[in-house]
Amino acid sequence: MGFRRKGRQLCAAPCRTGKAMPEQNTAFRRFQGVSFGKNVQILGLANVAIGQGSAIGDDTWINVCDRDDRLRLVIGQRVLVGRQSMISAGGELEIGDFCLFAPRVFVSDADHVVDNISRPYSEQGFTRGKVVVEENCWLGINTVITGSITVGRGCVVAANAVVTRDVPPFSVVAGVPAVILKMFNPATNTWEHVRTPEDSERIAAARTVHGLPSREEYRFILHRTSKVGHLSPLLVGSGQCL
């Protein structure tokens, strides 16, 4: 399923401070209402959408490998992408509203093809996957999200974790490769440790009975409870001091 432009606000009034760097002027014009730090590079500008109120930190690289006429990389509303992060789309990549990325986060659905050892890997093309990081996920410093996977809404990914498989909504993961440490139990309304397969099965059963909000429901809840219209431009860096 392709991305849709309708039904979601992707632009608003500007919310930035300071003088724009020359290389950022194009991004500022295209993504009104988004704050950019210094040295932000966007390759495949026409294939990228960034939602209103979001903030992209210093030295971030946003890349689309296949620069065609499709919208391939979508960053939602009020998303913070921390400094020195990299987001790279080969097929389709989506980051939901209110996601929070620490510095040096890597998210990509693409990889280099290495089938022929007699040719440079850089010349063999790339794989095309699909990565979805759903709404309100918190990715710690140096985390890696890679492959063709979905990180469910409300998840927390610990620092230095490498996520290579789907993560259920409202889970805490850590490690290399990442494993589930906690899951939210709607029956008790608390985060509970997952130490054994039985723990996971018990919480999954409780989720079946009591239910969790869908993506649309959760997005509505977040927008209803949020008190911040846009993230502060100070969060992106840009040499700003207080």
List active site positions.
112
Instruction: For residue 103, say if its preceding peptide bond is cis, omega within 30 degrees of 0.
Output: no
Length of the chain: 242
The Cβ-side half-sphere exposure at 81, using a 13 Å CA radius, reads 32
Q: Which helix (H) or strand (E) holds 88?
A: strand 86-89
Closest to 145 (Cα-Cα) out of 154, 156, 136: 156
What distance in Å separates the CA atoms of residue 81 and residue 120, rounded to the nearest whole number?
A: 32
Contact (Cβ atoms closer than 8 angstroms) between residue 52 and residue 33 = yes
What distance in Å separates the CA atoms of residue 104 and residue 179, rounded to the nearest whole number?
A: 20
Closest to 89 (Cα-Cα) out of 62, 54, 123: 62
Tokens of 74: 């979508």
CB within 8 Å of 240: residues ≥ 6 apart: 17, 18, 233, 234
CB within 8 Å of 182: residues ≥ 6 apart: 171, 172, 191, 192, 193, 194
| 123 alpha-carbon distance from chain centroid | 28
